[in-house]
Amino acid sequence: MNETAPVLGIADPGGFGWGVFHERHPALIRKLCDSNPYGPAQRSRLEDLVEESRSGAVRPPEAATAGHAPWLAGGGGYFGRPWSEVPFLWAENYFYLRLLECVGYFAPGPWQGVDPFTPMKSAELADPGLESDTAWLDGLEDASPAETFHALLLASLYGNRADLGFRLVQAAAATDGTDGPPLLADDSAAVWRHVDGRPPGEIHVILDNAGRELLADLLLADHLLATGRATGVVLHVKPRPYFVSDAVTSDVRDCLVRLAAFPGEAGKAGGRLLDAAAAGRLRLLGHGFFCSPLGFDSMPGDLRAALAPSALCVVKGDLNYRRLVGDRAWPATLPFATAVAGVPGALVALRTLKSEAVVGMRAKTVERLDATRPTWRTDGSQALVQARLQD
Ligand SMILES: O=P(O)(O)OC[C@H]1O[C@](O)(CO)[C@@H](O)[C@@H]1O
């Protein structure tokens, strides 16, 4: 892999990373305090964290915090240094760990293990509009197998358009079915040939957000299982609350139960998935690595071994993409397969662009977007399907 591109940071006041720490995070903390009955100590710890991360030095985690020792060991010398000098990927990850610490998620007490983002995630799942969002499934009866797969793949992609963290400062994109902007890169036809042309195997999905995105991911999982194109599906959840709306085990449970109660084809899919879970054909894994600040090129051996036999790994979302290609200011025309590291075997990334790292673009596309829409890398308006089908 080309490792010469600069690592993305948060120091530049005009830059995207700076905006995340100076605009998005304060808005998030306000929202958390409005939606959770936190006491004065939790509130002032959260405010102190925002202040520390905007203008202070990085404090180490407390002893009770998950992964205390690995964070200290893997801190890359960042503890004690100004946050502004720390790579964006590391800083953002560490912010979410410290946020949990501030609200008492790790220490014994009444808030231990309580997901601070549940009120936001539950509100999304309670939206009565979710049922109509999946009504397009009922119109797929006459579609060819290739068309059906394509529709479900794109629904999973566009589910990633507006996660709850992103919506804090960005208008929500429409999430109706498979509609979306033209793709910047589209390897979906090759993914279909891969899935259709090889003996079925286990398909892994490295999940991103709960709610709408997860519902679409579940529909894709059901399609792969119900058509026999996957012998099993493994969903990789986050082991703890992360980046606001990232899916943890309880989110999968809540989405599955909600889906099974939908009318029409979506509800049937939910019922089949509950059966598949009971039979062990739909499995969850929650590896600690997925809440770490490391690129996938640092994936531990046990996780690599779990992914290695998969027929396909679906890598969802913006953050997973940053970890897959490296969170660097790559030339956008660097080939995708050159930048990808860490995930063994065939993979496809389904991503809405919400941050700066991007590869695998045609030079003409980059020129056009730079000229017509300077914010294209970060404003959530663009999406891509990029595959590497041979390791
Ligand atoms: O939910 P997704 O698609 O991974 O998006 C998360 C992204 O949101 C941000 O936190 C802010 O836009 C990015 O830094 C991050 O990569």
Q: Are residues 275 and 224 in the same domain?
A: yes
| Ligand 1 midpoint to CA 276 (Å) | 31
Boundaries of domain holding 83: 16-102
Domain boundary among 102, 128, 154: 102
| Ligand 1 midpoint to CA 224 (Å) | 27
Q: Are residues 138 and 193 in the same domain?
A: yes
Pocket, ligand 1, Cβ cutoff 6 A: 20, 92, 160, 163, 165-166, 208-209, 243, 317-319, 322, 354-355
Q: Are residues 224 and 354 in the same domain?
A: yes
**Which of 16, 23, 24, 19 lies closest to 244, judged by CA?**
24
Domain boundary among 70, 102, 134: 102
Q: What does the alpha-carbon distance between residue 367 and residue 355 come to, in Å, rounded to a whole number?
A: 18
pTM, to two decimals: 0.95
SS3 284: strand
Q: Are residues 329 and 376 in the same domain?
A: yes
| Ligand 1 midpoint to CA 293 (Å) | 13
**Which of 160, 286, 175, 271 lies closest to 222, judged by CA?**
271
| Ligand 1 midpoint to CA 223 (Å) | 27
What does the pLDDT read at residue 297? Answer: 95
Q: Are residues 222 and 273 in the same domain?
A: yes
Return the best residue to mutate from 16, 355, 358 for the ligand 1 pocket (most ligand atoms within 8 A of CB): 355
Q: Are residues 176 and 97 in the same domain?
A: no
What does the pLDDT read at residue 172? Answer: 42
Q: Are residues 136 and 70 in the same domain?
A: no
Give the position, in ligand 1's atom list, of the atom nearest the Cα of 170. 12
What does the pLDDT read at residue 67? Answer: 80
| Ligand 1 midpoint to CA 318 (Å) | 5
Question: Would you tell me how many other CB atoms lie within 10 Å of the CB of residue 4?
Answer: 7
Q: Are residues 56 and 148 in the same domain?
A: no
Residues 6+ apart with CB under 8 A from 42: 102, 103, 104, 111
Task: Indicate the residue type of 373.
Answer: R
Q: Are residues 50 and 126 in the same domain?
A: no
Return the best residue to mutate from 207, 319, 325, 377 for the ligand 1 pocket (most ligand atoms within 8 A of CB): 319
Q: Is residue 171 part of a domain?
A: yes
10-residue mean pLDDT series, the chain (391 residues): 82 95 97 98 98 97 85 85 97 97 97 97 93 89 94 94 59 46 92 95 98 96 98 98 97 97 96 98 97 94 97 98 97 96 94 97 96 95 95 60
Task: Name the strands in the sheet holding 282-285, side by side, starting at the edge strand that comes first in the sequence.
Answer: 183-186, 383-388, 347-352, 312-316, 201-206, 230-236, 282-285
Domain boundary among 42, 77, 102: 102
SS3 263: coil
Q: Are residues 231 and 366 in the same domain?
A: yes
Q: Is residue 92 part of a domain?
A: yes
Task: Sort residue 327 into left (φ over 0), alpha (ψ -120 to 50) or beta.
Answer: beta
Angle at 31 between CA 28 and CA 37, to 5 degrees: 130
What does the pLDDT read at residue 391? Answer: 60
| Ligand 1 midpoint to CA 374 (Å) | 18
Q: Are residues 336 and 196 in the same domain?
A: yes
What does the pLDDT read at residue 170? Answer: 55
Phi, psi of 147 (to 5 degrees): -65, -40
Q: Is residue 39 part of a domain?
A: yes
